[in-house]
Amino acid sequence: PGARTALSGPDAARHAQRVRAEVAAVGIGSGTLLVDDPVLTARDVWRARPLTRVIFDRRLRTPPTARICDTLAAGPCAVPSRTAR
């Protein structure tokens, strides 16, 4: 807990990249972002358009130092949050 952990091997990672090449967006929760700090880009595959990355973060815990913030040229990033009442 609290540490980045690889859950699959190289074959599964290649498959995940091929899937990212075929979808419009990929999303994660803020907990995954805080622990794994992924960039969520489609690597080693061709895409006609940039991949949209979505971070579901209702409490706005995404830090500006997250690696995904350094890859905005690779595609847009959306952070839906909860509105204040």
14-38 pLDDT, tens digit per residue, is 888 888 888 889 999 999 999 999 9
- The span from the CA of 6 to the CA of 54, in Å, is 21
- The span from the CA of 38 to the CA of 3, in Å, is 12
Output the pLDDT for position 18: 87
32-79 pLDDT, tens digit per residue, is 999 999 999 888 888 888 899 999 999 999 999 999 999 999 899 999
Output the pLDDT for position 84: 64
Output the pLDDT for position 65: 95
- The span from the CA of 5 to the CA of 40, in Å, is 15
Output the pLDDT for position 83: 67
